[in-house]
Structures are given as C-alpha cells and as structure tokens.
Amino acid sequence: MTTVEFRTPGALADAERWTAHNYHPLPVVVAEAEGAWVTDVDGRRYLDFLAGYSALNFGHRHPGLIAAAHAQLDRVTLTSRAFVHDQFAAFCRGLAELCGKDLVLPMNTGAEAVETAIKVARKWGYRVKGVADERAEIIVAANNFHGRTTTIVSFSTDPEARADFGPYTPGFVVVPYGDLDAVRAAITPNTVAVLMEPIQGEAGVLVPPAGFLAGVRELCDTNNVLMIADEIQSGLGRTGKTFAIEHEGVVPDMYVLGKALGGGIVPVSAVAANQDVLGVLRPGEHGSTFGGNPLACAVGAEVVRLLATGEFQERSARLGARLHAGLEALIGRGVVAVRGRGLWAGVDIDPVLMTGRQACERLAERGVLAKDTHGSTIRLAPPLVVTEEDLDHALAQLAAVLEG
Ligand SMILES: Cc1ncc(COP(=O)(O)O)c(C=O)c1O
C-alpha cells in the first residue's frame, strides 16, 4: 500500500516559521491558478471568491494581460522616472481617459496612491485654496480602510490597525460613514478634502445610504473642498460599473486606484485628477522608483483596454444580480444580512451558528476560498470572469456550510 504524502502541512509550517505573523491565512497553499480557479500544492482545486481582495478582477492569468506582460518582459522592465519609456504615455493617457480626467500619477501599492492623494490635497489646499500653512484638514469616515502606512493608520478607527503605531499624523477628522449632516458639520475653512470609499470594503462591504455620495459632492462644491474617492477595492468593474461612485452619478475630483489596475500581475496604483489639482506637484516633491515602470504600464494599459470594452462591468452587473439573489435566499437560513453591489457581497453569518472565520474554513474544505472580516461577516468577491455555474456551485457550498 502506498501512503500519500500531503505537502500542505509542511508548506504551512515553513511559512509560519520564516515570516512575521502579520496575517492569519486560511490553511491553503496555492501552487497554480487560472481564471476563477486555483490549485493547491496537493492538487486540490478551489473557486477563488476573494480574488486578491479585488486585485484579480480579470481572473488569474488573464491571457491578454499575461501576453502583455510577456511581451514587455522581453523588451524593458524598469527605467525609473529619471527617463521616459515608451509604455508610459499610452498607459497614462488610457487611464486618464477612462477616468475622464486630465492627468494621472502612477504609483505601486494602494497605500502609496492614498498617500499621494493626501499630499496633493494638502498642497492644493495651501497653494490654491489658501489654507494657512500646517492647518489643512481632511475629513474621513469611521471604519475606513485606506492602507497601512503610519499616516493612513493615524486616521483608522480600527484599534487593531492603529494601536501601538503612534505618534499619529494630525490633520484628519473622522465622521460616521453615510452621515451627511456629520460631514457638513465637520467642514471648516481649513478643510481641503473629503476622502472616502464609495463602498467600504474591509468594513464589510458597507453601501452608504442613497444620496450620501451625491450629498458629499454638493458639500464639496459649495465649500471648495476636494472630493477624493478611494476606488482601490470598489473600482475597475467590481460593482458593475467602472467606478462604484458612478452608481450615484457622482464624479469625484480625484480617483484613487490600485489592486485590479495591475491585472493581478504587478502592483500598479494611481491617482487621476484634473490639471487644477494634480498640476500642483513640481519635480522632486513626490515619486517612486517603481511607479509607472514599463512592465506596470504595459499591463496597466491592457487593463484599461479590457475595461474600455465594458464587458467586465456588464458581467459584474449581470452575474452580481444572480449572486445577490442567491445570497438573499439564504437570509433566515444562517445568513442575517447581505450587502454590496455587482459581484461583491458582504454576508453577515448568524453568529449563533459560527464565526466568519469558521465559515471561511468550512468553505475552503468544500473548495471555495473567501475571507472573513469583523467577526461574523464574510466577503465574497469572485473574479469577474466567474461563470454562472461557478457562482451556483459556490452558493450551494455556502448553503451546505450553513446547514452544518
Ligand atoms: C479601499 C482601499 N484602499 C487602500 C487599500 C490599500 O491598498 P494596498 O494594500 O495595495 O496598499 C486597500 C486594500 O485593501 C483598500 O481596500
């Protein structure tokens, strides 16, 4: 008799042994992936219903994106911004046009793009709005998630993200998410920006009340304040539109983008805004060695081309309706509430039954990967290339998990 040796336990132990414990991953060791599916080191297949927190909107190894990356790998991959390369303008122009903005500033990670937006808003405040030096204020929402830098965690309301990392960067005012009166009351002559996620992802896929984002837009217009939309997780097709803020017919002054912009291949982030805003930066004031590198631009330009077809947004809206109908049907059968738009859902599991973590562990045992957040919530965000059969399969697995 032959004994089968599983590679997963050893790989998990090695990862645990050699890394800082800043994550608590599910016990799955991925070796390969394609489309909406991943395969682990022991050959087990899983449907990926997290999609790299929306970094894999186009699925794993989308052929067009892989081809763009391969072609660029054979030409030039890095120049730094000390020189211009031949992929730079095409990517920046494509992204600016997708956003309907004059200019783009490419960076790498989401947190860097958020930092960029904060710096630009502050400089705009001093040089354009006329705020006194060092007095700029930015209004943000409670339960926000914008990244992990020291400045960004300074205005987090999540003790886990923030505690022990002070002293904190001043200049931020926190208001309850979705509370327009609170935003109005927080605005002072020193307010330079309102920075918010159009749908709060990490908080549990929280959709603000109808009219909130339009109301913020109006307040920003009346008070000469920039509206900054962090669409890093909500944007680029995830909710059934290119940007989640479009659902309210709102155009922000600055888009902050990341995750899916890199096609699941390279980290690519950016801010997009008009000349009167992004034009405040001068050489030497901001930058990044890898920001806007040739490989990133080649992949990013292909991402923009995919989005320009509208195909992924349409899929997300159509399949999202199916996902949400399936999830609504589970309310009262182990699910307490469902939120979200398009192929993006926050699902509150009845805490009497199990925690979100336990639900995700049991889903993984049944071949579906998802991630919990805040106790009893799980997030579902499959790649936008997921099929109807895959969706139905994942919903059936969730139902089975809840039935115990
Ligand atoms: C809305 C939002 N902003 C910013 C970030 C930070 O992006 P990154 O992890 O690439 O720094 C995230 C990541 O989850 C996010 O969801």
Residue nearest to atom 7 of ligand 1 (CA): 110
Residue among 259, 268, 271, 373 to mutate when testing ligand 1 (max atoms within 8 A of CB): 259
Separation between Cα atoms, residue 344 and residue 312, nearest integer Å: 13
Residue nearest to atom 3 of ligand 1 (CA): 146
Protein residues whose CB sits closer than 6 Å to any atom of ligand 1: 53, 109-111, 114, 145-147, 197, 201-202, 230, 232-233, 258
Residue-wise pLDDT for 234-274, tens only, equals 999 999 999 999 999 999 999 999 999 999 999 999 999 99
Separation between Cα atoms, residue 103 and residue 275, nearest integer Å: 6
Separation between Cα atoms, residue 195 and residue 117, nearest integer Å: 9
269 CA distance to ligand 1 middle (Å): 10
* Ligand 1 closest atom vs CA 147: 6
146 CA distance to ligand 1 middle (Å): 5
21: number of Cβ within 10 Å: 6
Which structure tokens are listed for 197?
């996620």
Separation between Cα atoms, residue 373 and residue 143, nearest integer Å: 12
DSSP 263-309: TTTS--EEEEE-HHHHTT--TTSS--SSTT-HHHHHHHHHHHHHHHT
Residue nearest to atom 10 of ligand 1 (CA): 110
Mean of all residue pLDDT scores within the chain = 97
Helix (H) or strand (E) holding 228: strand 226-230
Which structure tokens are listed for 47?
């449907």
Residue-wise pLDDT for 4-53, tens only, equals 799 999 999 999 999 999 999 999 999 999 999 999 999 999 999 999 99
Q: Which residues pair with 325 in a beta bridge?
A: none
Give the pLDDT band (50/70/90) at residue 374: confident
Residue nearest to atom 8 of ligand 1 (CA): 110
What angle separates helix 88-99 from helix 294-308, to the nearest 10 degrees? 40
Separation between Cα atoms, residue 316 and residue 128, nearest integer Å: 39
Residue 2 has pLDDT above 80, yes or no: no
Residue-wise pLDDT for 169-207, tens only, equals 999 999 999 999 999 999 999 999 999 999 999 999 999
State phi, psi for 318 to the nearest 5 degrees.
-70, -50
